[in-house]
Amino acid sequence: MLRETIRALAESKIAPFAAAVDEESRFPQEALDALVSSDLAAVHVPEEYGGAGADALATVIVIEEVARVCASSSLIPAVNKLGSLPVILSGSEELKRKYLGPLAKGDAMFSYALSEPDAGSDAAGMKTKAVRDGDFWVLNGVKRWITNAGVSEYYTVMAVTDPTKRSKGISAFVVEKSDEGVSFGAPEKKLGIKGSPTREVYLDNVRIPADRMIGEEGTGFATAMKTLDHTRITIAAQALGIAQGALDYAKGYVQERKQFGKPIADFQGIQFMLADMAMKIEAARQLTYAAAAKSERGDADLTFQGAAAKCFASDIAMEVTTDAVQLLGGYGYTRDYPVERMMRDAKITQIYEGTNQVQRIVMARNLP
């Protein structure tokens, strides 16, 4: 029922704007409005904070179905979970009440600020600092590759509070867009997901109350990594949706396109490509849904399974979207057809929330 609901919403309220959002590199406001009006913009927020209380699998299905028509739009529910999960996992009751309510209502979005210009895969090498000043912390630094930056009201920011302790000297904070000293760089000019703004976040003597620290001092990096165990599965879901959208479009196209006097779908070479695409998507779906169930239960092997789902599903998304372009031939290579956009959008799923090379390191260190 959830899938039917979100698919109907995605096809009627999000899909019609997907090409324009990509072409104009603009935020998909129509998608945000549609998701908020249906209480689907942050479904993961627990009921006690005004949210829908959706479990990890239901959240995955929402992201998958939105990504099937517009990858940029699927980053609204996905990044709302990424940005707010540190608060849910480690934040005080006061922080949860203050920030999760507006997120659930759709009054605010939540971004995640971990990466920096010189700290990408080596996130523990960050330079952003937070210095205690009485009942406040003062933050200085630059965060890069921040999804939905400038649109989101709230940011989970990781900063060094004790430079002598490397990862154990990093703490997490909630920073608000309206805090004095917060500003944003120009939107990055990207290959795909052009409707989701990616910008630098500048922190210039940003003074915030001490109670905005998420968890204890020095636990920020551990919270960041624990968050990614859960949210890599949302990227797997996004990749899965992009791949499914490409297969669905290609399947319809080959039944209509005629060459040599018959639909190209009648040729075995085409049938085998479609069969492989469908088989690989289904394998990715099973891995992703199983990982979502493990996320919900908090299973011991979640780190491996989350990395495996993200890595496998994103590799499959790149492969399937490339094949979809091939199936459309010259038409697939033009912007008049959506598979070109889907192929560009798929690429980022192999890169963000940890490159697939990093996922393989994570898996190797956590072999079941």
Residue 112's CB is within 10 A of a number of other CB atoms, namely 29
Which pLDDT score, from 0 to 100, does residue 368 have? 86
Q: Is the pLDDT of residue 36 over 90?
A: yes
Residue 98's CB is within 10 A of a number of other CB atoms, namely 17
Q: Is the pLDDT of residue 361 over 90?
A: yes
Partnered with residue 141 across adjacent β-strands are: 203
- Residues contacting residue 173 through CB under 8 Å, at least 6 positions apart: 130, 137, 139, 156, 157, 159, 208, 212, 213, 214, 220
Q: What is the mean pLDDT of residues 91-117?
A: 98
Q: What is the mean pLDDT of residues 52-61?
A: 98
Amino acid identity of residue 362, one-letter, is V
CB 291 within 8 A of CB 308: yes
Q: Which two tokens stand for residue 230?
A: 């859960």
* pLDDT band for position 284 (cuts 50, 70, 90): very high
DSSP 57-74: HHHHHHHHHHHTT-HHHH
Q: Is the pLDDT of residue 296 over 90?
A: yes
200: enclosing H helix or E strand: strand 198-209
Q: Which two tokens stand for residue 193?
A: 């997901």
Q: Is the pLDDT of residue 291 over 90?
A: yes
Q: Which two tokens stand for residue 168?
A: 């154990």
Which pLDDT score, from 0 to 100, does residue 154 have? 98
End-to-end, the C-alpha distance of the chain in Å comes to 34
At the topology level, CATH places domain 2-105 in Butyryl-Coa Dehydrogenase, subunit A; domain 1 (1.10.540)
Which pLDDT score, from 0 to 100, does residue 272 have? 98
Kindly indicate whether the domain formed by 222-365 is annotated with CATH number 1.20.140.10. yes
| Residues labelled as active-site residues | 353
Q: What is the mean pLDDT of residues 80-87?
A: 98
Nearest to 11 by CA among 171, 244, 221, 190: 244
- The average confidence (pLDDT) of the chain is 98
Q: What is the mean pLDDT of residues 317-329?
A: 98
Please write the tens of the pLDDT for every residue from 324-355. 999 999 999 999 999 999 999 999 999 999 99
Q: What is the mean pLDDT of residues 145-151?
A: 98
Q: What is the mean pLDDT of residues 2-19?
A: 98
- Residues contacting residue 82 through CB under 8 Å, at least 6 positions apart: 110, 111, 112, 147, 227, 231, 234, 353
Superfamily of domain 110-218: Butyryl-CoA Dehydrogenase, subunit A, domain 2 (2.40.110.10)
CATH 1.10.540.10 intervals, the chain: 2-105
CATH 2.40.110.10 intervals, the chain: 110-218
CATH 1.20.140.10 intervals, the chain: 222-365
Which pLDDT score, from 0 to 100, does residue 360 have? 98
